[in-house]
Amino acid sequence: MEAAMHYVATIPAETLHIFTREIFERAGFSPQHAADGADVLLWASRRGVETHGVRNLKLVYLRMLESGQINPNATFFVEHETPVSAQTNGDGGLGLAAGCWAMRLAMDKAEQSGMAFVTMRNSYHYGAAGYFPALALQRDMIGISLTGHFSGQGAAIGVPPTFGAKPMFSTNPIAVAFPTQNEAPWVLDMATSIAPYNRVMLHHENGLPVLPQWGLTAEGEPTADALLMQQMWPLGGDRAHGGHKGYGLSMMVATLCAVLSGGWDDGHADDAASFHGFRQTGDSHFFGAIRIDAFRPLEGFKRGMDAMIQALHAAPKVPGEERIYVAGEIEHETEQKRIKNGIPLTAVTLADLQELSVKYGVRLEIEG
Amino acid sequence: MEAAMHYVATIPAETLHIFTREIFERAGFSPQHAADGADVLLWASRRGVETHGVRNLKLVYLRMLESGQINPNATFFVEHETPVSAQTNGDGGLGLAAGCWAMRLAMDKAEQSGMAFVTMRNSYHYGAAGYFPALALQRDMIGISLTGHFSGQGAAIGVPPTFGAKPMFSTNPIAVAFPTQNEAPWVLDMATSIAPYNRVMLHHENGLPVLPQWGLTAEGEPTADALLMQQMWPLGGDRAHGGHKGYGLSMMVATLCAVLSGGWDDGHADDAASFHGFRQTGDSHFFGAIRIDAFRPLEGFKRGMDAMIQALHAAPKVPGEERIYVAGEIEHETEQKRIKNGIPLTAVTLADLQELSVKYGVRLEIEG
């Protein structure tokens, strides 16, 4: 649920999808990586999750490619595996594609074994965490995805631990999806901070207010200035409001992603970015897929989900509110609308896409 | 981390452990159920988690036994299983013991298969959620435990969904434990509300303040009166502070526990407590155990955990704070102290235990 954005143009979802894939290809990614990358970004853009949509094509992924951070010729590979698990390596490649590859591995293993978890290290920003569990819905499985980063010496921007004065964690999201029968699929996709940092930047570039409850300045002062906000509050905020729980969830994510994968590991130089030789290079992820019929017949589970959602819809509301939503419902409705009406673009994103169109010679048709 | 309690007596941990087990036995539980029940309660009492310790022996468990709600002769059983999963039934028995049985099943399966999850329906209050993942630490596994309740027509006390005016969820906790090498085991045990409801009652009975940020009255008004607080805020609080995320986590817990186990299921009378014939009888749980060597060698994981914890300890602190804690650390230190010095009791709990001592003829030696 984004604050009201100012959009300047609209483009059919399928057109934007093809454009995004072609840009990734022309930029040097393989057809498979380009297709996966476009799938992840368009999923977010269709669902109104502007912080993780095509806005990031140039801003995040092509910038990281051009700076040499992302390896366009990455080959994702398994470092260790069992029938229910794998520890994998993203080879410094496009996180969007690495995530798709790892999630498919988890689902394929779960298909055979009932459930599976896959960790990955040495990857980069994998996009909207919710995309990967949503893939599991197509196979009627429960899907899980986490991505986490821990900075042993702290970072300029991120989430400090409770009572800490320096960001140590990224906004380490948790995403889980459950299949439903007739109701919208249940998709929880949440940063373990009150707000994800890229919402700060999104609001800034669109002239929207940044809320002071999201974070603090580097010096720990309250701020509503996007350019000064660097310490994002963990979910809950301060200790009295339960912020130690958001911090705990953030560390759980960091552990399942970075410690379990070996992404946070020793053997590095003991420099300013390392802690006693430990450091995390790139991002680490965690994916899971669980067959429902490992526990009970699928159909009963789906009916139970629908009934729970309907009970919540029917529950008494606080004065002034007309609806109670469940996770992913607003985004599902936005997706239905945008598939029909096209994807609206902000001025900044439109300018970025037009620049990429010229640079890579990929035609972009926009409805003004 | 409890507010300062007023204690009136102290009892050696082992003495209280044996006393609790004997009371469970005399009350009619089997030696195994009594032993497991005492283990769970004493774990919480040793660790200073007063909300889930021996305070609840009479107040929760024996009260539910005497009212006929808990079946003292329960036989826990498997309804469906695979090498990595089981759907089980608590037979309306003592949740503390049912949880131990189910967690052992998860660990035994994980020992063989690399990981396993076990759901359970038709159980009751299982005590401190953190106890069960902490069991996994003894086997160098990652442990997970959730317990959840969903009220299709709402309940007097609990957590409303965002924009909702009636509690629909219990405070549905998440508990996860990771093994460490030399640092205290990492044990996250958190209600998905800002505070668990039994903290409201604990504070009330000990004359401690109830914080208005924890919840609202039945009518949705702010309150600091324990007897009026009925709607507990989900973690995050209102929508602007991210409360929809706490609500999302609560529903995730309810789904993994109650929908996946069939604890929330149809076929019931469509009465005032049911929603379209769906209702949840008792509590439902979810347990998981994961072998670390399914991903990487155990020793490297443990060193990584220690390094992350040490990096957090060494991080810059906000003015006025001397330490940064990680999950379970304060409780671990309390446990070390209480094993040595005994477990302090409040006046209310002491009176309860003395009453049970007389009623069941089990001697209780207290240091005044």
What does each C-alpha distance from B154 to A31, A313, B167, B248, B292 come to in angstroms?
Answer: 51, 12, 5, 17, 40
Q: What is the mean pLDDT of residues A54-82?
A: 97
**A26 in a domain, yes or no?**
yes
Looking at residue B341, its amino acid is N
Partner residues linked to A264 by β-bridges: A280
Handedness of CA B89, B91, B92, B94 (dihedral sign): negative
Handedness of CA A253, A255, A261, A262 (dihedral sign): positive
* Cα-to-chain-centroid distance, residue A107: 19
* Helix, strand, coil fractions of chain B, as percent rounded to 5: 40, 20, 40
**Is the pLDDT confidence value at B69 over 50?**
yes
* Contact by Cβ (8 Å): B324, A169: no
* Cα-to-chain-centroid distance, residue B324: 24
**A138 in a domain, yes or no?**
yes
Read off the pLDDT band of A212 (50, 70, 90). Answer: very high
* Contact by Cβ (8 Å): A206, A346: yes
| A261 with B150: Cβ contact below 8 A | no
pLDDT score, position B3:
58
Q: What is the count of structural domains for chain B?
A: 1
Under 8 Å CB-to-CB from A337, ≥6 apart: which residues?
A: none
pLDDT score, position B365:
83
| A261 with B316: Cβ contact below 8 A | no
| Residue A312: Cβ-neighbour burial (10 angstroms; 0-12, 13-18, 19+) | buried
Q: How far is B176 from chain A (nearest CA, A)?
A: 8
Reported as type and span, the H/E element at residue A341 is helix A329-341
**A365 in a domain, yes or no?**
no
Q: Which residues of A161-175 are buried (b: 16+ CB within 10 A; e: fewer)?
A: bbbbbbbbbbbbbbb
| B240 with A211: Cβ contact below 8 A | yes
**B168 in a domain, yes or no?**
yes
Q: Which of B161, B255, B301 sits opposite A305 (nearest CB)?
A: B255
**Residue carrying the six token digits 């009925």:** B230
pLDDT score, position B209:
86
**Is the pLDDT confidence value at A340 over 70?**
yes
Q: What is the mean pLDDT of residues B40-63?
A: 97
Q: How far is A359 from chain B (nearest CA, A)?
A: 40
pLDDT score, position A368:
58
pLDDT score, position A3:
58
Q: What are phi and psi of A262, to 5 degrees?
A: 80, 10
* Contact by Cβ (8 Å): B78, B88: yes
| Residue B45: Cβ-neighbour burial (10 angstroms; 0-12, 13-18, 19+) | buried
Q: What is the mean pLDDT of residues B340-348?
A: 96
**Is the pLDDT confidence value at B218 over 70?**
yes
DSSP secondary-structure letter at B292? G
| A317 with B165: Cβ contact below 8 A | yes
Q: What is the mean pLDDT of residues B318-332?
A: 98
Residue of B nearest to A257 (CA): B295
**Is the pLDDT confidence value at B118 over 80?**
yes
Q: Which of B88, B142, B239, B295 to mutate to test the interface with A (most CBs of A within 10 A)?
A: B295
Helix boundaries (H) for chain B: 13-27, 31-46, 56, 63-66, 95-113, 131-137, 197-205, 243-254, 260-261, 298-314, 329-341, 347-360
* DSSP character string of B164-213: BSS--B----EEEEE--SSSPPEEEEE-SBSS-HHHHHHHHHTTPPPPTT
DSSP secondary-structure letter at A317? B
Chain A CB contacts of B194 under 8 Å are 236, 241-242
Q: How far is A345 from chain B (nearest CA, A)?
A: 25
pLDDT score, position A312:
98
Structure confidence by residue, pLDDT tens digits, A16-51: 999 999 999 999 999 999 999 999 999 999 999 999
Q: How far apart are CA A8 and CA A350, in angstroms?
A: 8
| A259 with B190: Cβ contact below 8 A | no
pLDDT score, position A51:
93
Q: Going by DSSP bridges, is the β-strand pair B141-148/B283-291 parallel, antiparallel, or unpaired?
A: antiparallel
Q: What is the mean pLDDT of residues B70-99?
A: 98
Q: How far is A83 from chain B (nearest CA, A)?
A: 8
| B259 with A308: Cβ contact below 8 A | yes
Q: How far is B242 from chain A (nearest CA, A)?
A: 5
3 state SS of B141: strand
Read off the pLDDT band of A367 (50, 70, 90). Answer: low
Token pair, residue B102, equals 């189910």
Chain A CB contacts of B249 under 8 Å are 174, 188, 190
Q: How far apart are CA A367 and CA A130, in angstroms?
A: 29
Under 8 Å CB-to-CB from B27, ≥6 apart: which residues?
A: B62, B65, B72, B360
| A315 with B260: Cβ contact below 8 A | no
Q: How far is B78 from chain A (nearest CA, A)?
A: 10
Structure confidence by residue, pLDDT tens digits, A244-263: 999 999 999 999 999 999 99
Q: Which of A85, A278, A300 sits opposite B304 (nearest CB)?
A: A278
Q: How far is B308 from chain A (nearest CA, A)?
A: 7
**Residue carrying the six token digits 């990981």:** B115
Structure confidence by residue, pLDDT tens digits, A152-162: 999 999 999 99
Q: Which of B83, B194, B295 sits opposite A241 (nearest CB)?
A: B194
pLDDT score, position A245:
98
**A368 in a domain, yes or no?**
no
Q: How far apart are CA A210 and CA A208, in angstroms?
A: 7
**Is the pLDDT confidence value at A7 over 60?**
yes
Chain A CB contacts of B254 under 8 Å are 308
Structure confidence by residue, pLDDT tens digits, A267-322: 888 888 899 999 998 999 999 999 999 999 999 999 999 999 999 999 999 999 99
Q: What is the mean pLDDT of residues A226-230?
A: 96
| Cβ contacts from A onto B, under 8 A | 271
Q: Give the domain extent around A351.
A: 7-360
Token pair, residue B95, equals 């949740």
| A310 with B249: Cβ contact below 8 A | no
Chain A CB contacts of B327 under 8 Å are 248, 251-252
| B312 with A161: Cβ contact below 8 A | yes
| B327 with A251: Cβ contact below 8 A | yes
Chain B CB contacts of A242 under 8 Å are 194-195, 235-236
Structure confidence by residue, pLDDT tens digits, B138-185: 999 999 999 999 999 999 999 999 999 999 999 999 999 999 999 999
pLDDT score, position A30:
98
**Is the pLDDT confidence value at A220 over 90?**
yes
Chain B CB contacts of A164 under 8 Å are 312, 315-318, 324
Structure confidence by residue, pLDDT tens digits, A231-242: 999 999 999 999
Residue A292: name the closest of B78, B283, B80 by CA.
B80
DSSP secondary-structure letter at B278? B
Q: What is the mean pLDDT of residues A62-86?
A: 97
Q: What is the mean pLDDT of residues A338-343?
A: 98
**A201 in a domain, yes or no?**
yes
Residue A162: name the closest of A223, A243, A230 by CA.
A243
Q: What are phi and psi of B232, to 5 degrees?
A: -85, 135
| B324 with A249: Cβ contact below 8 A | no
pTM: 0.98
Q: Which of B245, B279, B290, B317 to mutate to test the interface with A (most CBs of A within 10 A)?
A: B245
Reported as type and span, the H/E element at residue A329 is helix A329-341
* Average pLDDT over chain B, rounded to an integer: 96
* Contact by Cβ (8 Å): B261, B286: yes
pLDDT score, position A271:
85
| B163 with A82: Cβ contact below 8 A | no
**Is the pLDDT confidence value at B77 over 50?**
yes
pLDDT score, position B152:
97
**Is the pLDDT confidence value at B117 over 90?**
yes
Q: What is the CATH number of the domain that holds B96?
A: 3.30.1370.60
Q: Which of A80, A109, A259 to mutate to test the interface with B (most CBs of B within 10 A)?
A: A259
**Is the pLDDT confidence value at B1 over 50?**
no
Chain A CB contacts of B113 under 8 Å are 83-84, 113
Read off the pLDDT band of B343 (50, 70, 90). Answer: very high
What does each C-alpha distance from B252 to A244, B104, B279 come to in angstroms?
Answer: 20, 23, 17
**A367 in a domain, yes or no?**
no
Read off the pLDDT band of A1 (50, 70, 90). Answer: very low
